[in-house]
């Protein structure tokens, strides 16, 4: 039976970001036209108009590593790592930016460990769109590049930060990605089915938060990581 999985650390803290809207009304009088009113509404948002030159795009942690769908790493790796993630989760972002590069360098790139991303969508209003893009990119074996850039450009978890313009700008930064196919696949029945599969897997593993890590040992045992991830991988490799 799969282990009872609990959240890795506390649930992400929710920071309320206020929507800032300002209205400037200018009134003027003219001899021929009378009174003219001009109303200008300025709405401030996050990442709403980013171009491909604005997005962060460091793919060094995954560049050159084999991918197949949602799995990163050599298919012959003896140890597996399952990562339950949400693209709007700030703790996932912290892991990706600060810890994953070392995991990739020491375990994945040398062919010791392969990593299976299971993308959930419950943290915020951009979670579902982020999952669609990762699952669509997986159909071109670019899921990990997409996930990396979504985290590098992540906005506030409670806001719809993943706009169409940001999504296109991110996609344009991924070498070899067919951008038109990406957005077609994102709304496909195949991606919807993949999302349902991820949810079913999370229910089976009793996932209550993200990120959650499960290590599969060489003998096939699945172990929930509750402490140091490198220590858990070292133990699995030693067994």
- Mean pLDDT of the 101-128 span: 98
116 token code pair: 């299976």
Please tell me the predicted confidence (pLDDT) of residue 24: 31
Tokens 């140091």 belong to residue: 228
Residues near 121 by beta carbon (within 8 Å), at least 6 away in sequence: 86, 127, 128, 130, 131, 195
Task: Look at the chain and report how many structural domains it folds into.
Answer: 1
pTM: 0.80
Given a cut of 60, whether residue 110 has pLDDT beyond it is yes
Domain of 130? 50-238
Q: If pLDDT is split at 50, 70 and 90, which confidence band does 239 have?
A: confident
pLDDT tens digits along 122-180:
999 999 999 999 999 999 999 999 999 999 999 999 999 999 999 999 999 999 999 99
Write the DSSP symbol of residue 210: S
pLDDT tens digits along 185-194:
999 999 999 9
Q: What order of strands is seen across the sheet that includes strand 67-68? A: 67-68, 71-72, 113-120, 79-86, 212-216, 222-224
pLDDT tens digits along 24-62:
333 333 333 333 332 233 333 444 456 667 999 999 999
Residues near 109 by beta carbon (within 8 Å), at least 6 away in sequence: 64, 65
Domain-embedded: residue 26: no
CATH number, domain containing residue 232: 3.40.30.10
Domain-embedded: residue 72: yes
Tokens 């995954």 belong to residue: 62
Domain-embedded: residue 28: no
Question: Nearest 5°: phi and psi at 224?
Answer: -70, 130
Write the DSSP symbol of residue 159: S
Domain-embedded: residue 5: no
Domain-embedded: residue 92: yes
Domain-embedded: residue 171: yes
Q: Which residues pair with 84 in a beta bridge?
A: 118, 212
Can you list the positions of beta strands (E) in 19-150?
21-30, 34-43, 67-68, 71-72, 79-86, 113-120
Domain-embedded: residue 25: no
pLDDT tens digits along 50-95:
666 799 999 999 999 999 999 999 999 999 999 999 999 999 999 9
Rounded to 10°, the helix 164-171/143-152 angle is: 130
Domain-embedded: residue 40: no
């Amino acid at each position: 039976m799969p282990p009872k999985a609990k959240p890795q650390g506390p649930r992400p803290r929710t920071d309320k970001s206020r929507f800032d809207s300002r209205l400037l009304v200018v009134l003027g009088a003219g001899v021929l036209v009378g009174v003219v009113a001009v109303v200008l509404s300025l709405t401030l948002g996050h990442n709403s108009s980013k171009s491909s030159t604005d997005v962060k795009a460091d793919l060094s942690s995954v560049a050159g590593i084999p991918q197949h769908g949602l799995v990163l790493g050599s298919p012959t790796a003896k140890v597996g790592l399952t990562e339950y993630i949400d693209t709007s989760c700030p703790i996932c972002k912290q892991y990706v930016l600060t810890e994953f590069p070392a995991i990739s360098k020491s375990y994945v790139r040398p062919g010791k460990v392969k990593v299976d991303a299971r993308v959930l969508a419950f943290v915020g209003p951009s979670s579902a769109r982020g999952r669609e893009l990762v699952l669509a990119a997986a159909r071109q074996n670019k899921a990990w590049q997409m996930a990396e850039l979504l985290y590098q450009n992540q906005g506030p978890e409670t806001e719809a930060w993943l706009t169409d313009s940001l999504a296109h700008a991110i996609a344009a930064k991924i070498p070899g990605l067919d951008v038109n196919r990406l957005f077609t696949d994102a709304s496909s029945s195949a991606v919807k089915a993949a999302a349902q599969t991820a949810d079913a897997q999370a229910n089976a593993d009793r996932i209550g938060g993200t990120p959650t890590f499960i290590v599969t040992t060489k003998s096939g045992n699945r172990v929930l990581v509750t402490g140091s991830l490198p220590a858990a991988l070292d133990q699995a490799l030693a067994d």
